[in-house]
Amino acid sequence: MSHHAPNGNANGEIFRDYIDDRNAKAQDTLYTTSNGVPYPHPYETQRVGENGPLLLQDFHLIDLLSHFDRERIPERVVHAKGSGAHGYYKTTDSLEDLCLADIFKAGKECPITIRFSTVGGESGSHDCARDPRGFSVKFRTDEGNWDMVANNTPVFFLRDPAKFPHFIHTQKRNPATHLTHADDSTVFWDYLSQNPESIHQVMVLMGDRGIPDGYRFMHGYSGHTLKLVNKEGEWVYVQFHMKSKQGTKFITQEDSASKSPDYSQKDLFYAIENKDFPGWDLSVQTMTPKQAEELWEKQKINVFDLTHIWPQGQFPLRKVGEFFLNENVQNYFAEIEQVAFNPSHLVPGIEPSADPVLQSRLFSYPDTHRHRIGVNYQQLPVNATRTPYRIANFQRDGSMAFYNQGSRPNYLSSIEPISFRSRSVDLNKAHGHFIGEAVTFLSEIRPEDFNAPRALWEKVFDDGAKERFVGNVSGHMANCTDKEIIKRQIAIFREVSEDLASRLEKATGVKGYPGISELRFNGTHNGFAKSEKLRNANSMTEKVAIPDSNGAPVVGTHKGIA
């Protein structure tokens, strides 16, 4: 016999509604303990007499304190300090010729949530730190959530995935002194001077784009290469760009000290509050598999390399859509601290490439979320999908299983069968034929790694930008206690430009090495080395076979496709 509540609902249907709770005014609520029992005053405590010890039976106090003790979930290891808001995306220019994703049909719209962030600092650190910025967008499409987990720079410091934890450690506090690189930049420059493929990102970081003027005045880039697959099963490589409709602005190193620690948060919140809604254009660069092979053969640009860019003159941007932020969050913790972005949240028609750092992130991001906010993190309202169909799977239980799928079978049942949709992407065709032996791979520094940074110095930076760059680098290096590290780093800058290296020598008072051909690096093989003894990365005494491709897609990689 089923019991019903006074409102006619079955008892199993009575639950707190998230939307109702989120939008309720304080005046409409009643003070209770966590188990819903009304309580007369939040400041009361039970004690023995007027001056005796407290009582363990005082559930209200124990409830209050024990929840307070647990109010912080672990902050993100990377991108801990961030801001965000809600909005909408709309496809303005169909991409159906290249991609079968429903969201890329002309006129399609979906709600989005964006989180911007710094990278290295803790959750209480300064918004105006010299640091890359995270730029993550959750597109809640009709086919499930697609997360674009991007940065405001088109490249990154590394292309070998195993370097990532090590690199981030060098951006954090020193384990002995507990100081950041604002006070002691030794480990910061030690890493960079041993891993010269970071040079393009260093040029961006130490240049004007290193401190964007809040989050509204910066672009976003996927950085990684992905794939688009169309209805015919044909595919192309793609890079996504999100171009600010507000343009870009930067803050100088000197001006950054005068800004509020929460400058970017304040700027974003009040712009939206004042109905000055920021927007971005979503555009793509695309490349056929054949073009990707030719790009390596002719120009030594590797589409699987996070430190390389695709020249926009050869691969122009094509606008697909635009998005705007028009709604501030009601509760920062629920909607921004708990929002979880994952580069493996892809919809049919968007696929990963063989970019090794992307491949490692496909695992690392959801693994982080399961640790930080729990195995059922996608049940949190801010992470939940908004599909027109009712979703189901055979994942059950675990911490905080809120939607646990009722009495439905938790296996593939023939008694109560679940529905399936036909496959829309032939994965056998959409992915390459990877046939080979298992190899251990570490990339090599090559002349091509300096082409884009050199163009940045010689063709993009004007005289003022060059002066600021030298001032930013030399000022930061002033806190580096080891002159050998500075000599090595200047040698890397010398491969970019003799002009740049000599300016830094003058600014730092340190004479750098004449180049990197006489150096050995602990983080990368040295393709410039004059001696075979210097070519292998430190500690590798055996002769290492370094492939000519350096991990790029060579001719024949896309057998039967290119």
Binding-site residue ranges for heme: 365
Cα-only R_g, the chain: 27
Quick one: 185 exposed, middle or buried, by C-beta within 10 A (0-12, 13-18, 19+)? buried
Three-state DSSP at 207 gives: coil
Name the phi and psi angles at 289, rounded to 5: -55, -40
Helix (H) or strand (E) segment spanning residue 165: helix 164-171
In the block, which residue shows the tokens 């010890």?
53
SS3 63: helix
- The CA distance from 247 to 417, in Å, is 52
Amino acid of residue 137 = V
Q: Which amino acids are annotated as binding site, given as ranges? A: 365
With contact defined as beta carbons under 8 Å apart, do 221 and 151 qualify?
A: yes
Catalytic residue, chosen from 145, 151, 230, 342, is 151
Residue pair 356/160 in contact (Cβ under 8 Å)? The answer is yes
What is the four-CA torsion angle of 241, 247, 250, 256, rounded to 10 degrees?
A: -100
Helical ranges in 34-82 per DSSP H: 59-68
67 three-class SS: helix
Concerning whether 241 is annotated as a catalytic residue, the answer is no
CA distances from residue 21 to 11, 28, 84, 381, 487 in whole angstroms, order as listed: 19, 10, 21, 12, 59
For the question of residue 35 being annotated catalytic, the response is no
Collapsing DSSP to helix, strand or coil, 529 comes out as: coil
Specify the residue for token string 């009575």. 14
Q: Please tell me the number of Cα atoms within 13 Å of 155 on its side-chain side.
A: 26
**Contact status, residue 122 vs residue 81, Cβ threshold 8 Å:** yes
CA 469, CA 501: separation in Å to the nearest integer?
12
Can you give the length of the chain in residues? 562
Helical packing angle, 186-194 and 164-171, nearest 10°: 150
Which residues are tagged catalytic?
Answer: 79, 151
